[in-house]
Chain A
Amino acid sequence: MTSAPVDSDRDALITGIGLISGLGEGARQTHALLAGPEPARPPVEEDKFAPYPVIAMAELDLSTQIPRRGDQRQMGPWQRFGVYAAGLALDDAGIKDDEELLGRTNLIVAAGGGERDPEADALVLDATRESEDPAAALVEPLLTNLRPTLFLSQLSNLLAGNISIVHHVTGSSRTFMGEELSGAMALQVAVRRIQSGQGDLFLVGGAYNAEREDMLLFYELGHYLWQGNPAAGVWQRAEQSGGIICGSMGGFVVIESRAHAAARGAKAYARLESVATDTGPREDEAAVGARLERLAAALDGDGDDKPLGYLCGASGAKQATDMERAFIDSLSKKHDVVVRTFGSVLGHGLEAQMPVGVALAAAALDQKRYYPPFDPSDPATASDTPPDRIAVTSFGHWRGEAVAVVARAD
C-alpha cells in the first residue's frame, strides 16, 4: 500500500520523539553524538552472552518516566524501555500531562513478547529432563516456578497496557506483532489514518531488549546470530556468513495532523510522508523483484535530482541484507542515494528498528544535518548535502520489507 496525495492540513507530522539506545537518550542528543565528525559508538557487550555480542541499553533513570516503583515491578526490561521511550516522546511533544489530548491519543505499539525467566525455565527442565513422561512431569515444576507478574510482563499487548496506565494514553490501543514489519505497519496505519481524517493524534513505536537469552535462543533456532568480530558492520557481516548483533533500543514518535499541530502551536521535526510495506517468500526471484520495484516506487517524488537520504535498518542476516544490497544498487541508478546503516551502530532491534530509524531521520531533518558514514562499507555514501527526504528501511531478518519516507516538515 502506498498513499495518495493528501491535503496538506492532513500531513502526518512528527511532533515528539522518544529515543533510547546504547548511546543514551533523546533524539537531539543522539543526533549530536552520531552527526559529529567522529560518530560515537555504543559499547558492545562481548562477554555476557558470548559467543554473541550484544549492545546493551545505556543507563536510564527509570523513575523520571515511570515514577511509581510498583509500576516498574510489574514490568520486565522490554516493557520498561518501551514505557520510558513513550514517555519521552509525550514529553517532547508537550502533551505529557494534558489529559484532554491524552484521552484522544491513539496508541499503536509494535511488540514482540516480554522476557521469560531463564532461571525458572532451567528449573523446570531440571525437574522434567529425566522423566519418563515429561509432559505430565511439567505440571508441578511449572506451578512452582511461574509467577503471575511474569505472565503479565510477557504479554505482547501489555507494553501498550502499561503505557496507558503510566502515561494515561487512552484514545485507543492497538498492538501489532510480527517482528520488523510490525514497526513499519504501526507507522503506516497511523500515517494513513491521519491522512484520511481517521484521527489527529497518534503515539507509535516499539522497544527491544537485546540482553535476553530467550531471544538469542529464538534467533539461534534460525542460525541468524553473528559470532565473529563484534565491530563488524552489517555489510561486512553479510559478505561472510551473515549475522545479527542485537541492540537494545526504544523508539516512539508522536505523529499528528498538520492542522492539529498548528492549532496547538506544536513544532514539527519532520513529515512522515509515506510508509510502504510488503512481504512474501524470498526464494522466488521474480516475486522478490516485483516487490522491490513496488517499494522503490514509494521513493519517487519531487526533486528526484536531489540527494535521497537512506537510513538503512539492515540486520546483517544474510539473505535479507543481500536483498537490500540489490535494492540499493538498483535505487542508485535513479537517485543520488546516501546510505547510512544505523544497524551497524545501534545493532538490531526487531520491532523497534523502523521506529528508531524514523526517529533518527526526523532528528536529522530537524537539525538540517545528515549523518556521516556509520559503516566504512556503506554502499553509495557520496553526498555531503543534507537531504530533504530520507528513506528509512527495515527488511525483516526472516520476512517483510518496508520503507518509510521522512521529509522536511515545511
Chain B
Amino acid sequence: MTSSHRDHLGRPVIAVTGLGVVTSLGTGKDDNWKALTAGQSGIHAITRFATEGLGTRIAGTVDFLNGTPETAADLSYNMAELAAGEAIGEAGLPREQFPGPLFMAVPPVELEWPQRLALDAAAAEGVEGIDRLISGAKAHNRTWPYDRFVFAGVAERTAETFGTQGAPISLSTACASGATAVQLGVEAIRRGDCEAALCIGTDGSINTESLIRFSLLSALSTKNDPPEQATKPFSKNRDGFVMAEGAGALVLESLDHALARGADVLAILAGIGEQADDFHRTRSKPDGSAVIGAIRNVLDDAGLGTDAIDYVNAHGTSTPENDKMEHLALDHVFGDDLAKMAVSSNKSMIGHTLTAAGAVEAVFSVLTMRSGRIPPTINYTEPDPDIVMDVVPNQARDADVTSVMSNSFGFGGQNVCLIMTAP
C-alpha cells in the first residue's frame, strides 16, 4: 500500500484509533473520565496486605476486579486485557486477530513472598538458608504456572489473547515504560514494518516488598491521612508520590490504514522524543538538560514550535525533585509561551501507575482533546512559589485543546515525551 498521508519528515502519519484504560478510579474510559474531570481521587488506605509499621499505608491499588489475583503478573495481565479489549473494540478491529505487533510495558516480575513461603514449607528437612527454596522447588508441584515469573509471561499471554502478529516486545524503562511502548509502536509503523500496533502499559505490582522498596528510596508520600490528599503535584508541601496500579492501551495505525477501513480517528500521534540522562540513578541533571533535550526532541519530531502546545499532561509525580525539574525544563523550553499553556497532573488523582503511567496518561491526553475538558491538578492548596504555572488547580476546565504533550520520566535517566494532536 502506498501511503498518501505523510508528516513533515515524509513519514506515514500515525493515527490513534482505540483507547482503553483501568485505574483505581475504575474500569474503562467512561468511568475514569467522569471521575477524573470531577477531581475525584482513587487513592485509599491499603487493604491488600498488612501495613502496620509502615511509613506509607496508602496507594491506588486496583481491588475491584473479580477474584483476587494471586500475583503481580496476574493482576497486570487482567488489567491489560481489559484495557486492550476496550481499545480494540473502539477501533473496530477483531478481538482475537489484531493486525499488528504488541509492544508492552510490564513490571519486572519475580517470585513473591507467598510463593517463597510455599516453597519454604515444601523444603526437605535439614536444609538451611536460601537453599530451602531450591529444595522446595525440586519437591514442589507448583500451584501456579511457570509463566507467572517469566519476564515475557504477561506479554505472551496478552499476545495470545488478542492474536497480535509476531513476537511481542516486553519492555521496562521504569516510570517511562508506558510511553516507551508507544514510541516503539510509532517507530515500527513509520518504518513500514507494520500498519498497526497495540501499545500497552500495565502495572499491578503493589505488594509489601515493592512498597517498602520505594519507601527506602524516600520516594513515597507519608501523608496517609486523608489518603486522597496525599498526592499534590506542584504544591509547596508535596512530599512524594503515591504508588498506584492501572493499565492503558492504545491502538495505533498508519492514518492511511485507518481511513481505508473507515475507522474513527481519535487523534494523531504526532511526535515522540527521548533523551537519556547520565547524571545519577534516581536524580536528573541539576540543569535539567536531559529533560529539556527530550522536550526539544519531541517538538522537532512533531514539527511543532513552542507556541503550538495547548496542554501538557505532566509527569507531575508530587515528589519534590520531579516537579521542580519538570517545571524548570518546561520553563526553559517554552519560555513566555508557558504562561499560555495549561499543565496538569493526572497523578494528583490516580497516583503514580509506574510502568503503566505513560500509556494511561497518553489515553487521558487524547480524552482531554476529544472532550474539550482539562482534568485538574487536585490538592493544590499551597502553591509552590518556585513553580509558576497554570496547573489547572482543583477544578476541571473547559478548553479547546488541539495539541497535548505527555511527559514521562523514570529512574535510570529515562525521559520520554509524546505529542498528540487533534485529527
Contact = CB atoms under 8 A, between A and B. Distances in A.
B170 A277 contact: no
Contact of B166 (A107, A168, A277): A277
A178 B151 contact: yes
A222 B412 CA distance: 31
Given A125-B120, A172-B274, A148 B151 contact: no
User: A148, A155, A178, A218 — which one has the most chain B CB atoms within 10 A of its CB?
Assistant: A178
A172 B274 CA distance: 6
A220 to B, nearest CB: 4
User: B50, B152, B208 — which one has the most chain A CB atoms within 10 A of its CB?
Assistant: B152
A146 B216 contact: yes
A298 interface: no
Contacts of A147: 216
A140 interface: yes
Interface in B142-180: 142, 146-147, 149-152, 155-156, 159-160, 166-174, 180
A65 B33 CA distance: 50
Interface stretch (B64-72, B88-96, B245-253, B276-284): B276-284
Nearest to A4: B192
Interface in A57-93: 74
A189 interface: yes
Nearest to B106: A177
Contact of A164 (B111, B170, B276): B276
Contact of A173 (B49, B282, B413): B413
A160 B278 contact: no
Interface stretch (A38-46, A110-118, A235-243, A246-254): A110-118
Interface string A171-200: 111111111011001000100110011100
Contacts of B190: 196, 198
Interface in A104-143: 107, 111-113, 116, 118-119, 121-122, 124-125, 128-129, 133-136, 138-140, 142-143
A125 B117 contact: yes
Given A146-B213, A399-B156, A139 B208 contact: yes
A143 B212 contact: yes
Contacts of A223: 138
Contact of B50 (A135, A214, A278): A135
A155 to B, nearest CB: 7
A158 interface: yes
Interface in B127-147: 128-134, 137-138, 142, 146-147
Given A143-B53, A218-B111, A176 B276 contact: no
B170 A178 contact: yes
Interface in B168-215: 168-174, 180, 184, 187-188, 190-194, 208-209, 212-214
Contacts of B274: 172-173
A326 interface: no
A199 to B, nearest CB: 9
A1 B108 contact: no
Contacts of A185: 167, 169
Contacts of A157: 172-174, 410-412, 414
Contacts of A124: 113
A147 B156 CA distance: 32
A179 B152 contact: yes
Nearest to B109: A113
A302 B278 CA distance: 43
Interface in A256-294: 277-281
Give me the 6 closest cross-chain CB pairs, A-B, nearest first: A161-B412, A178-B152, A196-B191, A136-B50, A118-B130, A173-B276
25 contacts: A121-B116, A122-B130, A128-B117, A138-B49, A138-B50, A138-B208, A139-B50, A139-B52, A146-B216, A154-B108, A156-B108, A157-B174, A158-B281, A161-B412, A165-B280, A171-B276, A173-B414, A175-B171, A178-B151, A192-B191, A198-B190, A214-B111, A217-B111, A217-B130, A221-B146
Given A157-B173, A161-B281, A173-B412, 14 more contacts: A134-B113, A135-B50, A139-B53, A155-B412, A161-B412, A175-B171, A177-B108, A178-B155, A189-B187, A192-B188, A217-B134, A223-B138, A278-B167, A398-B152
Interface of A: 1, 74, 107, 111-113, 116, 118-119, 121-122, 124-125, 128-129, 133-136, 138-140, 142-143, 146-148, 151-152, 154-158, 160-162, 164-165, 168-179, 181-182, 185, 189, 192-193, 196-198, 213-214, 216-218, 220-223, 277-281, 396, 398-400, 402
